[in-house]
Amino acid sequence: MKKITMGIARYISSHSLADSGARLFYKERGLAMKAMKKSICMTVFLTLLYFSQLALADENVAHPLWLRYPAVSPDGNVIAFAYGGQIWKVGSSGGEATPLTSGDFYSTRPVWSPDGTSLAFASKRHGNFDIFIMPARGGEIKRLTHHSANDLPYAFSPDGRSIYFSSSRLGTPETVLVGTYADSDQLYSVPVAGGNSHLLLATPALDIAVSPDGKQLLYDNRPVYENEFRKGAVSDGTRDIWLYDLVTKKHRQVTTNRGEDRDAFWAADGKSFYYLSEQGSSFNVWRQTLEEGSKPTQITLHKGQPVRFLSLAADGSMVYGFEGEIWRRAASSTESRPVPVHISQGSLVAGSFSSNANAYASEIAVSADGSEVAVVARGEIFVTATANGRTRRITSTPEFEHDISFSPDGRTLLYCSERGGDSDVYEASVSGDRPASFTAAGLVTEKKVIATEGDALFPAFSTDGRRIAYLDNRRSIKVFDRETGRSTTALKEGSIYSYADGDLSLKWSPDGRWIIATTGSIIGDLDITLLDASGNLEPMNLSSSGYSDESPQFTPDSQAVIWESDRNGLRKADETASQKDIYILHLTQEAFDGFNQARQGVKSVLPDTTEATWEPQVRGIRHRTTRLTPYSLS
């Protein structure tokens, strides 16, 4: 049985600062840190049963789907591909596939050597993706990279002695994408014989293809942080095909479509290339010459699902992925056909099975009295009693549940579920009038509470349990009244956007009058904003530091806000943040004076906050911001 502390993941317990200062939880780069009154350290042991429908091979092994990253050998006779976390190979005409790696560790992205005798691939054998190489016929596997960043192989050098790969290691300030979670991919090479990796390009150069003479590279640029599998994007932030000359060290943009262009492969003539483009509607294969101003020609005409994972052989034949299958077009043909792949390998883990879900826990929430802990593990919700470890599963759906929190009385769980194609807010409640808990015997009822046209995220109960604050369609914050069924806008669109699940947060003040939220976006800077829950007053930006400010919470009297910021922490060589501090801002001068007197050992009389008479004071707010940590934390 694995031990999980209360500070799992990047989430802050909803009762942390509201429960009379009994506990303070805050996150620090995914590792929770705990400071508990009277040095009480509480650890929760979870034993969770997880029942999953996992199948290594499809029920119909004669027609397996989800065959990914097909790579055709240079002579066009063999196709390597990834399936079920393993590397496989099959003849280009189809047939029985042969596994080259075991299913013990996830492996993907096979790449052929120029002579067709070796395969490079990425595997999580040691936790993150590293580059490995093995004989194409099968045999001993050798590890080539040893960095903690993910290393993804793209191509061999023309002489077969090196492998080009991308890795988000240490770039330069000029090349790193902006934002709170800024990163950037650099292009490296590593010798096939083993040895140190070498930086080729500090700028992002993805999915590279080496020209037949080895003097030029085609690559995708990466102008913004974006999910590579997003469909339908049209903006200046989409990818294009670029050309890099290894001799002159110059870059040139080749495609100019405002949609996505990617995965270029050189044609045999060395003067044109094939690539995937979304300019028609969905991704298809296109061809274009390197001459400036040349117009592309569409090669495939698939509709509906996108074409993915293009690969070309030296003889001009191509393979790609479409609707979960591998498709092939011979060099002399104008038609593509699916490759019939047969996988006979069975699996004892197919179907329902029991598993310890501790290793998959991604969120945690603690009830107000600390008697129960809710955990999200592999997208399902479990509740554990802290006294005895008794655990109960709350949800059992194929959809993802997330953003969990308890009601003030601990009898209701609030969370999001993606059952309708987007994220809506649900609640699960303990039935009956008598005092009960989720882990005690009894009925738990579930219902949908908030349904929006887009995603509803980060739901949070007010302290009286009558209202729910949530992020609507990733762009605005609203307050839902459970009695009237109506929502009020606390923050209009224009100053907030949730780019990824879990990237923002919002909390209620203990007096129920205010909401503190992380605003902005992770692709820019994050700020701390105070919102009037009634929607009558204008939002108040409390941080405005130009850096990233996150994870805000109120103090028990509602008159101060605590958050973390990287404004004064040390930075890496590429100027991204590596350390943070904890800050406190008092919303009134009276509260600030009382705070300073207490720090000096002077007994102060704080203003009465039991009545809703005080208001935040905008004037002098910057001078009431105090750094709490004596030194930055990493």
Which residues touch 629 (CB under 8 Å, ≥6 apart)? Answer: 581, 582
Residue count of the chain: 634
Whether the predicted pLDDT of 608 surpasses 80: no
At residue 276, the 3 state secondary structure works out as strand
Q: Report how far residue 377's alpha carbon sits from residue 391's, in angstroms, rounded to the nearest whole number.
A: 13
Is the Cα dihedral 203, 206, 211, 212 positive or negative? positive
The structural domains of the chain, with segments of one domain joined by +, span 68-342
Count CB atoms within 10 A of the CB of residue 405: 23
Q: Report how far residue 151's alpha carbon sits from residue 329's, in angstroms, rounded to the nearest whole number.
A: 30
Q: Which residues pair with 203 in a beta bridge?
A: none
Average of per-residue pLDDT across 63-86 = 93
- What are the respective helix, strand and coil percentages of the chain, to the nearest 5? 5, 40, 55
Q: Report how far residue 451's alpha carbon sits from residue 544's, in angstroms, rounded to the nearest whole number.
A: 33
Q: Which pLDDT value is given to residue 358?
A: 78
CA distances from 312 to 316, 325, 330, 383 (A): 6, 17, 10, 51
Whether the predicted pLDDT of 132 surpasses 70: yes
Q: What would you measure as the largest C-alpha separation in the chain, in angstroms?
A: 89
Beta strands in 418-496 (DSSP E): 424-430, 444-450, 456-461, 467-472, 476-481, 487-491
Which DSSP string do the residues of 129-181 spell out, in sequence order?
Answer: -EEEEEETTS---EE----SS-EEEEEE-TTSSEEEEEE-S---TTTSPPSTT
Q: Which pLDDT value is given to residue 350?
A: 64
Average of per-residue pLDDT across 3-9 = 31
Q: Which pLDDT value is given to residue 188?
A: 93
Percent of the chain surpassing pLDDT 70: 85
Average of per-residue pLDDT across 390-419 = 93
CATH homologous superfamily, domain 68-342:
TolB, C-terminal domain (2.120.10.30)
Per residue in 559-580, pLDDT (tens digit) is 999 999 998 888 776 677 788 9
Q: Which pLDDT value is given to residue 226?
A: 73
Amino acid at position 97, single letter: A
Average of per-residue pLDDT across 253-271 = 91
Per residue in 454-512, pLDDT (tens digit) is 899 999 999 999 999 999 999 999 999 999 999 999 999 988 999 888 889 999 999 99
User: Binning pLDDT at 50, 70 and 90, where does residue 607 land?
Assistant: low
Q: Report how far residue 84's alpha carbon sits from residue 100's, in angstroms, rounded to the nearest whole number.
A: 12
Q: Which pLDDT value is given to residue 600?
A: 82
Per residue in 140-176, pLDDT (tens digit) is 999 999 998 899 999 999 999 999 999 988 766 666 6
Lowest-confidence range among 27-41, 83-97, 589-603, 612-626? 27-41
Average of per-residue pLDDT across 187-201 = 91
Whether the predicted pLDDT of 3 surpasses 80: no
Average of per-residue pLDDT across 441-458 = 90
At residue 598, the 3 state secondary structure works out as helix
